[in-house]
Amino acid sequence: MKRTETKYSYEHANESTTTIQGETWLVWDNYARRSTEARRAEGGETKAIKTMGYLSNDLSVRKAIAASFGLDSFRK
């Protein structure tokens, strides 16, 4: 995952990007909800990929995105 330079906020912290099947995804921690959330860079659909905790490992993040958004694979 590659960190972005987005300004820190309690609801949008530690933003980074990752790629799944050629699509770029934004991933961040939401400390207010105590979750990790993701959004397609194109399209804008947002979902919590991990509730009651946070994800930081790139492979775990990609697997969680694939499961949450119903993707066929989590491969780059």
pLDDT for 44:
84
- The pTM (predicted TM-score) of the whole model is 0.85
Query: What is the rounded CA–CA span in Å between residue 55 and residue 45?
Result: 19
Over its length of 76 residues, how does the chain's per-residue pLDDT go in tens digits?
777 777 778 888 899 999 999 999 999 999 999 999 999 988 889 999 999 999 989 999 999 999 999 998 888 7
